[in-house]
Chain A
């Protein structure tokens, strides 16, 4: 590696062939390649040897054989008769579910706390600081344990469930809430929602064009709310209220009906949200501080109202600072969701680990993990880079 400095050096002054930067560069690179190839060859040789000795067939054909274990939470149909491949798919979907819901909640909490830390209000500022310093300095696994062993598992049993508003219950088997059952003709509501969104987008575009041309503003926000909320509600009413609720009912030993969130999911989701929110809050704070005061003052001088200052000047510039580190926090959250294995939430790593223990296909499972996590990272990065490019400063 010691060649960079002499790459641009003077060749003529060093007569020796050994001192030629190009030769050196090539020599070191060849050395690296040789060492690498030798190392990999040695490893592959050992692996083949070890696998032969322990009678493990390599390859991905095991994915088609019967899994034989149950998964407690599955968004798609799964029984112990399903294949290993399907078990891993279930794990992957569970990872996506907990990551996506965690990202949404963490962003909301993070933005609130981050803005709160810049509040003029002393008390709010202190509360937010305590929150951030508390969660940033303890391991995420501890937060997960806290929710799982400290809070959810000491809740009362299902017979003494805690009654919450709107017919929901909380006990040591999870959180139960009414499930919406859509009747016939519900697709009309979805259609109305789609039309509402499309119309709102159209109105916003026209309003912007008109304001650019004539300077007359148009109440885009309230019109959009009316369109997006109003149209589906109208469809709902016209259709004769095609909605009923499957309310959880208390029987002697258990709660039946309704939708159940299991404690494993709840504790993972809550822990990831609260933990990551502390980091997001710091990013948001840095972003807002990063917009210079002159910008705010200039926009006030232009006569913008405080809300307009925030929406048109501060937030767009702060977002530019916020987005890149925010992306890596989202990825961190997704990667931290692999801690699910510690409390038995069947995510990708947990189901993969079970498959690994049953089949002994260590290399294949690790390759599957790596490929999936790298793919998630890549897709998230591409999406956030696209968003970042959209928000970026348009320069001449």
Chain B
């Protein structure tokens, strides 16, 4: 047999062909993602009907028919309801939100003093945003300023009584201001407290462990409303005669206690996920307990549970709205309180106010969850 050289090396590239018609363009995308089978098509039709049923009426209500300006309820009520709008009208009453915007933000904080919370807010943003952006240098100084200097300055500014600032009592605080104060303090207290509780729960000392377990499990087993009731009704009973507590402080204690217990469980999850070798390695380096925890274990453990921690923060941010039940007025409480304002009471006011409050809460919570996803990706050093 004769030997032939059958090898073949192609020298020029084949000309790329256009993808088949059925696989390219919008038509293919629609077919693949919306109408790939009979069942799929039925689902798509149901989905389209649902969107068509919900979305246009909402857009019409929120934008087309909405009343953007006005001075009282007559702008947001139909003729039959004693207003100026034609019968059958249904639209958002943004005029109400606009008129009450100051209250929604600051509660009954004196109007001539409102520059103080605004200044605090500006400081907050100025210190917090650089802390969030990984590229900005001097994180240590920034953190000290934000977690130690800022709370003191903010307290002095908001509460007053020093440097010629008139004293503003906490019952006058309200709106988003209270929501943010409660969440900030809750977050700042619950993270360290949660870490300590979690360490206590994993401690080898039976008494310490027992105390931590009882605290965590009790608080986690009861609703926040009960904890707040406890803080507002029972705390005064626990104190000697004459000692009174600020109501806001009582709510703060309740919220912080509640969040700490949840935080402790999240942190415990992280501690449990660290392999034993890390503990033993730190021991063999001769580190003491706190050195071992702070330098070796906690940095790894906390990084693991960032999603859980942020979820707890989000949960707490949402839960601050419950202080309404012990008659304090956070954002939701102020909105709710204004439903009964006779100048604005119309069938459209409650829903408009609630949609506004929902938007504010949603922006904060959604922002937090997106940031946590970003941090999670950034800190992910695993070799998956």
Q: Is A198 part of the binding interface, using a Cβ–Cβ cutoff of 8 Å?
A: no
A146 to B352, CA, bound (A): 10
On chain A, the residues within 8 Å of B325 by CB distance are: 339, 341-342
Whole-angstrom distance from the CB of A48 to the nearest CB of chain B? 10
Which residue of the partner chain, among B218, B225, B234, B357, contacts A339 with CB atoms under 8 Å? B225
Contacts A6-B289, A146-B351 given: A138-B208 contact, CB under 8 Å? no
Q: Is B303 part of the binding interface, using a Cβ–Cβ cutoff of 8 Å?
A: no
Q: Is B322 part of the binding interface, using a Cβ–Cβ cutoff of 8 Å?
A: yes
B318, A140: Cβ atoms under 8 Å?
A: yes
Which residue of the partner chain, among A137, A349, A363, A377, contacts B369 with CB atoms under 8 Å? A137
A140 to B361, CA, bound (A): 11
On chain B, the residues within 8 Å of A4 by CB distance are: 203-205, 289
Contacts A1-B199, A146-B351, A154-B351 given: A370-B208 contact, CB under 8 Å? no
- Give B89-128 as 1s and 0s: 1 = Cβ < 8 Å from A's Cβ atoms: 0000000000000000000000000000000000000000
Whole-angstrom distance from the CB of B228 to the nearest CB of chain A? 10
Q: Is B8 part of the binding interface, using a Cβ–Cβ cutoff of 8 Å?
A: no
Q: Is A374 part of the binding interface, using a Cβ–Cβ cutoff of 8 Å?
A: yes
A145, B51: Cβ atoms under 8 Å?
A: no
A25, B205: Cβ atoms under 8 Å?
A: yes
> Dominant SS at the B interface?
helix
Whole-angstrom distance from the CB of A381 to the nearest CB of chain B? 9
Whole-angstrom distance from the CB of B370 to the nearest CB of chain A? 10
A5, B288: Cβ atoms under 8 Å?
A: yes
B225, A121: Cβ atoms under 8 Å?
A: no
B351, A134: Cβ atoms under 8 Å?
A: no
Q: Is B358 part of the binding interface, using a Cβ–Cβ cutoff of 8 Å?
A: yes
On chain B, the residues within 8 Å of A119 by CB distance are: 43
Q: Is A366 part of the binding interface, using a Cβ–Cβ cutoff of 8 Å?
A: yes
A378 to B358, CA, bound (A): 33
Residues of B216-248 contacting chain A, CB below 8 A: 218, 220-226, 229-230, 233-234, 236-241
On chain B, the residues within 8 Å of A356 by CB distance are: 229, 233
On chain B, the residues within 8 Å of A32 by CB distance are: 207-208, 211
A2, B222: Cβ atoms under 8 Å?
A: no
B211, A339: Cβ atoms under 8 Å?
A: no
On chain B, the residues within 8 Å of A297 by CB distance are: none
Q: Is A215 part of the binding interface, using a Cβ–Cβ cutoff of 8 Å?
A: no
Q: Is B65 part of the binding interface, using a Cβ–Cβ cutoff of 8 Å?
A: no
> Dominant SS at the A interface?
helix
Residues of B51-101 contacting chain A, CB below 8 A: 51
On chain A, the residues within 8 Å of B207 by CB distance are: 29, 32-33
A137, B361: Cβ atoms under 8 Å?
A: yes
- Give B348-384 as 1s and 0s: 1 = Cβ < 8 Å from A's Cβ atoms: 0011001001100110011001000000000000000
On chain B, the residues within 8 Å of A3 by CB distance are: 204-205, 289
Contacts A142-B332, A145-B336 given: A336-B223 contact, CB under 8 Å? yes
A115 to B240, CA, bound (A): 56
The stretch that binds A, out of B18-26, B32-40, B145-153, is: B32-40
Q: Is A139 part of the binding interface, using a Cβ–Cβ cutoff of 8 Å?
A: yes
Contacts A145-B332, A342-B325 given: A138-B241 contact, CB under 8 Å? no
A51, B237: Cβ atoms under 8 Å?
A: yes
Number of A-B contacts (CB under 8 A): 180
Q: Is A389 part of the binding interface, using a Cβ–Cβ cutoff of 8 Å?
A: no
Which residue of the partner chain, among A25, A29, A138, A149, contacts B361 with CB atoms under 8 Å? A138
On chain B, the residues within 8 Å of A134 by CB distance are: 362
Residues of A24-44 contacting chain B, CB below 8 A: 25, 28-29, 32-33, 36, 43
- Give B306-333 as 1s and 0s: 1 = Cβ < 8 Å from A's Cβ atoms: 0000000010001101101100000010
On chain A, the residues within 8 Å of B239 by CB distance are: 46
Q: Is B278 part of the binding interface, using a Cβ–Cβ cutoff of 8 Å?
A: no
Q: Name B292's closest neighbour in chain A (CB-CB).
A: A5
Residues of A138-192 contacting chain B, CB below 8 A: 138-142, 145-146, 149-151, 153-154
Which of B211, B220, B321 has the most CB atoms of chain A within a 10 A radius of its CB?
A: B321
Contacts A29-B208, A122-B33 given: A137-B314 contact, CB under 8 Å? yes
- Give A10-32 as 1s and 0s: 1 = Cβ < 8 Å from B's Cβ atoms: 00000000000000010011001
A2, B339: Cβ atoms under 8 Å?
A: no
Contacts A123-B47, A362-B237 given: A349-B205 contact, CB under 8 Å? no
A150, B351: Cβ atoms under 8 Å?
A: yes
- Give A37-67 as 1s and 0s: 1 = Cβ < 8 Å from B's Cβ atoms: 0000001001101110100000000000000
B237, A50: Cβ atoms under 8 Å?
A: yes
Whole-angstrom distance from the CB of B200 to the nearest CB of chain A? 7
Q: Is A335 part of the binding interface, using a Cβ–Cβ cutoff of 8 Å?
A: yes
Whole-angstrom distance from the CB of B122 to the nearest CB of chain A? 25
A141 to B324, CA, bound (A): 9
A28, B208: Cβ atoms under 8 Å?
A: yes
On chain A, the residues within 8 Å of B33 by CB distance are: 120-123
Residues of B271-328 contacting chain A, CB below 8 A: 283, 287-290, 292, 314, 318-319, 321-322, 324-325
- Give A336-368 as 1s and 0s: 1 = Cβ < 8 Å from B's Cβ atoms: 101101100000010001001000001100100
B350, A8: Cβ atoms under 8 Å?
A: no
On chain B, the residues within 8 Å of A47 by CB distance are: 237-238
Which residue of the partner chain, among A7, A49, A150, A353, contacts B241 with CB atoms under 8 Å? A49
B44, A36: Cβ atoms under 8 Å?
A: no
Whole-angstrom distance from the CB of B217 to the nearest CB of chain A? 8
B365, A137: Cβ atoms under 8 Å?
A: yes
Contacts A47-B237, A149-B351, A154-B347 given: A338-B321 contact, CB under 8 Å? no
Q: Is A97 part of the binding interface, using a Cβ–Cβ cutoff of 8 Å?
A: no
Q: Is B171 part of the binding interface, using a Cβ–Cβ cutoff of 8 Å?
A: no
Q: Is B48 part of the binding interface, using a Cβ–Cβ cutoff of 8 Å?
A: yes
Whole-angstrom distance from the CB of A103 to the nearest CB of chain B? 15
A141, B43: Cβ atoms under 8 Å?
A: no
A149 to B339, CA, bound (A): 9
Q: Is B129 part of the binding interface, using a Cβ–Cβ cutoff of 8 Å?
A: no
Whole-angstrom distance from the CB of B259 to the nearest CB of chain A? 14
Residues of A65-100 contacting chain B, CB below 8 A: none
Whole-angstrom distance from the CB of B182 to the nearest CB of chain A? 12
On chain B, the residues within 8 Å of A320 by CB distance are: none
A35 to B48, CA, bound (A): 64
A149 to B288, CA, bound (A): 58
Which residue of the partner chain, among B218, B221, B290, contacts A2 with CB atoms under 8 Å? B290
Instruction: Give me 22 A-to-B residue pairs in the complex whose CB atoms sit less than 8 angstroms apart, sorted by A's number.
Output: A1-B199, A1-B203, A46-B237, A120-B40, A121-B36, A121-B44, A122-B33, A123-B34, A123-B43, A139-B321, A145-B336, A149-B336, A335-B224, A338-B224, A339-B225, A339-B325, A362-B233, A366-B230, A373-B221, A373-B222, A373-B223, A374-B222
Closest CB pairs A-B (n = 8): A137-B365, A150-B351, A122-B33, A149-B350, A5-B289, A335-B223, A139-B318, A338-B223
Q: 9 additional contacts, CB 8 Å, given A141-B322, A370-B222, A373-B223?
A: A28-B208, A121-B40, A123-B47, A139-B332, A139-B361, A145-B350, A151-B351, A339-B325, A349-B229
